[in-house]
Amino acid sequence: MQRDPRCELVHELSGQLAVERGQFDAALQHFDAAIRQSKTLTDLAHLMSLRDGVIAQMTACQRYGISIHDMLQSLQQDEKQAMILAAAAAAAAAGGGGGIGV
């Protein structure tokens, strides 16, 4: 971003990274900057949906008293579990064990 603060993609990716870190205020700032730099309606719609998603997450956390930190940890655990299950399924398929017969 130091090279070109007007780069839409840099702001979009920085916003997504901020979301993953639970830094929702920073994410909103980056998405707003990307929205200002968007050049097509498709990009604008995509960026606005990312921004709206952050607002929805913030609202839900505030409304239901959910800690952003706890929510992110839960999502990370779910993601790890899904990766473990996918790896186990791939190993079973590669080994021929437990596959569905045709």
pLDDT in tens, 89-100: 999 999 865 555
Do residues 98 and 92 make contact, with C-beta atoms less than 8 angstroms apart? yes
Q: Which tokens in the block code for residue 45?
A: 């719609």
Amino acid at 37: Q
Does the pLDDT at position 5 exceed 80?
no
| DSSP letter (8 states) at residue 98 | T
Residue range 59-82, pLDDT digits in tens: 999 999 988 888 888 888 998 999
Task: Check residue 59 and give its pLDDT.
Answer: 95
Q: Are 12 and 47 in contact (CB under 8 A)?
A: yes
For residues 102 and 98, give the distance between their C-alpha atoms in angstroms, rounded to a whole number: 13
User: For the chain, what are the domain ranges?
Assistant: 8-66
In angstroms, the CA 28 to CA 23 distance is 9
Residue pair 37/7 in contact (Cβ under 8 Å)? The answer is yes
